[in-house]
Structure 1
Amino acid sequence: MSTFFGSLLWLVVTLGVLVTLHELGHFWMARAFGIKVNRFSWGFGKPLWTRRGKDGVEYAIAGIPLGGYVAILEDPDNTLVEPMRSQALTHKPKWQRACVFAAGPLMNLLLCVLFLWVMLVVGRPDYTPVVGDVRGLAAEQGFKPGDTLLSIDGDAVPTWNDALMPILRHGVARDRVPVEVRTADGTVTQRQMDFSALPAGTSDADVFAATGLLPKHWLIPPVVGEVQAGTPAANVFKRGDQITSIDGKAIRGYPEIGTAIRAAAPEHTFEINFVRDGQPLTARLKAQVSGSSHIIGIGPASTESPPFDTVYALSPLAAVPAALKETVQLGRDTVTLVMRLFSTSSAREGVSGPITIARVANESASQGLAWFLRFLALMSLSLAVINLMPVPFLDGGHLLYLAIEAVRGRPLEPNAMMVGQLLGATLIVCLMGLAFYNDILGLLR
């Protein structure tokens, strides 16, 4: 299956499942309070199939499978008469209306916990959090290649995926946190990562790279692939040569070759040790200088990531508190990100639209069930947080109107509600425009 069609398929699956189940939360809560539901539809647009159930609800399947909707009886003009009047959402107590509006986001929260629980029971393939190389801040603060991260700020990090989120969280906040590591010789020790020392102007998206911690699985083997004609390497190296050291310094990964070349003076003669067909060889050459670039003329043999080397799994019982804890922490991170949208430009650069969602959905699905479940959990949680924002048109906006009604003792005037709806629609359109802009910009990069 091509990347395009795969991305489209998994986008449909993601939105179809999460949005439909979100609406199902509203549906179930409305039915529990005796509120009449006119239609429950999977998909948008013209219905392709309909059936009226014994409960009086019209169930439909529509042609655009990107979610669904529930049509609940309302009486904004106060024109209904009994028995329909008492079945309208408008005439139910405020607490019941609040429960109906909150039921959709609550369903998404429960789904997040469920997806994470299943992921933990199934087992998520991942990488052991071993440091492959250190640069910049990480090197300055004592981290070494071969360190295995054990915990960050007291929280265990059994895999690189578990380490990434706290690094980003504390990096964005510029915190100073303790990091427990097991060194290459097996000694367990504690180091400090002071994120306040990150370079000025580091964006949220660049925080992890700026720390200088390179995961071991990111290290491309120092094996020669391409040899460019007309460069110093042209008559020296061949495809398959493995570089072992430069000027006596061991080379563990391909990026270290460029680091060693750039660090030397322009006229420096490098002594490069390498292995060809099991035979150790040595070459001496100077780099070709072009502006600020130092070129020897080789490229890596492979840029593919190595296979996962561990599986993080828990028993069904142990997975329950772990899933709840991760949901709470991811929820805090999501709320923080939403708050930062209105204060920092780097956070706004992270707003993603359907193109990015489709691409990530496809990548997650290609990594296996556990990774796709984690993606669904993150998306479900994001839907919950976004829908709880106090913005008209969203569930949080309806809850805001109910709170104002409770304080005033009467609903807002129609004109005031109309202004709120207009402002809410404007904000939503702006966020959608920003998401599409970021998507398109990402395609052009």
Structure 2
Amino acid sequence: MSDLLGSIWWMIVALGVLVTFHEFGHYWVARRCGVKVLRFSVGFGKPLWSRRDRHGTEFAVAAIPLGGYVKMLDEAEGNVPASQLGQAFNRKPVLQRIAVVAAGPIANLVLCVALLWAMFVLGKQDFSATLGNVKGIAAEAGFQRGDRLLRIGDRDIATWTEATMALTKSAIDAADVPVRVETAEGRIQSRTLPLSRLPVGFDQENATTLAGLAWRHWQTPAVIGEVSPGGPADGRLKTGDLVTAVDGQPVSDFSQISPLVQALGERGGNAMVEVDRAGERLALELAPRRMRDPQTGTEYWGLGLASPKTRELPPYDAIQQFGLLAAVPAAFRETGKLATDALGMMRRMLTGDASLKNISGPITIARTANVTAKRGADWFLYFLALLSLSLAIINLLPIPVLDGGHLLYYLIELVKGSPLSERAMVTGQYVGLALLAGLMGLAFYNDILRLVT
């Protein structure tokens, strides 16, 4: 219940900040262009609070906190007194109308840069792009545990988040990507990850895992969470024991135990399992036994050990932090990278290369807002910046009912010298509503599918 309430609260906070800033962009430029603004509302529905300024603009906070709007004097919205026609939006020159409409998305871009600047000043904590277990095509390409990724393709990598995005893009493009790494021994090497070998129709949300890569911070310490009654380790190993080696092979992650035990069982004979028990080093001789997985029914060689059911993430080992001035170009660079990635993903979805499962809706947004808020101010600022950028890009799409659709109308008017006919504009509005409804339906479907799976 706490996660549900937290998700709802932080989504309201996020949308409140972003939409208010977006609408303020429209409001500020409209006022500079001499347009009379009738209402600036944060939220929809019945106002819970309102006041009117000396210019006649009503500022309101409404009951449904999932958006907002700016209502301007416009003959398309109703009768306008003759004395106020000069302040009507529709009577303004087309370039001024373009400026007013474009101001909303531009405000979100400005906010994105400001949020990233604040994030870099505070210091963005993350995990380094250091590999844990490696298998599959990544292991065949020479990648090893302890490798730290420094560059993927033409992009320098500082964190796990950046590495995941870069590798996912290359996987969608079915490209063999050059990777520069620093090995656990400190040597700089270049390797090629053959992502073109991923199967057709692979799960794009798990591209790195399918390529055989796991990250060091994913590792589960080799602490025994449970010993199966009657199993080979019953009475010998205990909950809380830290496994340090199996048959002389060092163990640093719980997932390493099973393959070593499987190899022992196939070879036959007993093995020495070394553990740390409250600071005491022990070496116990155990014999793997044929066991059956109760969920899948498959048989395997095992000792009857299970990892802890819950674990905490290790401390962050990478931080991106700049001074007040140095954070400014860093914020612009990060905005450029995020915009390039977002537009690239949209292009891939339009061409059919990227799955439409990548589209997320309000449920995913709410859950992500809650998770990032729990991680700290730096992560929540990053989330807000990404959401603000997404809001700017989506609003600039040339879909009627969005800002981009209105800009398209005004650009056509600018070229042909006269406005589009009312019939054409109404038709466009219906088409835009249909497209928007389809997009929202797909986003909700993806959200629900994520919850179910």
User: Are 1:310 and 2:313 matched, yes or no?
Assistant: no
SS at match of 1:51: strand
SS at match of 2:74: coil
The CA deviation at 1:65 is 2.0
Give deviations 1:117-172, integer Å, cap 9, x for gaps: 11111101222222122111211111111112222224332222232222222222
Amino acid corresponding to residue 299 of structure 1 in structure 2: A
Identify the residue that residue 148 of structure 1 maps to in structure 2. Answer: 148
The CA deviation at 1:53 is 0.2
Distance 1:15 1:270, change over 3 A: farther
> Is the 8 Å Cα contact of residues 228 and 298 (structure 1) preserved in structure 2?
yes
User: Are 1:121 and 2:121 matched, yes or no?
Assistant: yes
User: Are 1:348 and 2:368 matched, yes or no?
Assistant: no
Distance 1:133 1:121, change over 3 A: same
> Is the 8 Å Cα contact of residues 203 and 346 (structure 1) preserved in structure 2?
no
The CA deviation at 1:242 is 2.4
From 275, 292, 300, the counterpart of 1:294: 300
Distance 1:166 1:345, change over 3 A: closer
The unaligned stretches of length 5 or more in structure 2 are none
**Which has the larger displacement, 322-331 or 287-296?**
287-296
TM-score, length of structure 1 as denominator length: 0.93
Distance 1:345 1:191 in 2: 25
TM-score, length of structure 2 as denominator length: 0.91
Amino acid corresponding to residue 328 of structure 1 in structure 2: G
From 409, 433, 437, the counterpart of 2:441: 433
User: Are 1:283 and 2:289 matched, yes or no?
Assistant: no
Distance 1:149 1:268 in 2: 39
Distance 1:271 1:69, change over 3 A: same
Identify the residue that residue 432 of structure 2 maps to in structure 1. Answer: 424
The CA deviation at 1:212 is 1.8
> Is the 8 Å Cα contact of residues 38 and 72 (structure 2) preserved in structure 1?
yes
Distance 1:239 1:79 in 2: 77
Give identity over the alignment, percent: 44
Identify the residue that residue 179 of structure 2 maps to in structure 1. Answer: 179
Identify the residue that residue 158 of structure 2 maps to in structure 1. Answer: 158
The root-mean-square deviation of aligned C-alpha atoms, in Å, is 2.3
The CA deviation at 1:412 is 2.0
**Which has the larger displacement, 237-246 or 386-395?**
237-246
Amino acid corresponding to residue 305 of structure 2 in structure 1: I
Amino acid corresponding to residue 218 of structure 1 in structure 2: W
Identify the residue that residue 398 of structure 2 maps to in structure 1. Answer: 390
The unaligned stretches of length 5 or more in structure 1 are none
Distance 1:257 1:388, change over 3 A: same
SS at match of 1:316: coil
SS at match of 2:221: coil
Identify the residue that residue 27 of structure 1 maps to in structure 2. Answer: 27
SS at match of 2:225: strand
Identify the residue that residue 335 of structure 1 maps to in structure 2. Answer: 343
Identify the residue that residue 320 of structure 1 maps to in structure 2. Answer: 328
User: May I ask how many residue pairs the two structures share in their alignment?
Assistant: 445
Distance 1:414 1:9 in 2: 41
Identify the residue that residue 212 of structure 1 maps to in structure 2. Answer: 212
Identify the residue that residue 92 of structure 2 maps to in structure 1. Answer: 92
SS at match of 2:429: helix
**Which has the larger displacement, 122-131 or 12-21?**
122-131
Distance 1:270 1:401 in 2: 78
Amino acid corresponding to residue 223 of structure 2 in structure 1: V
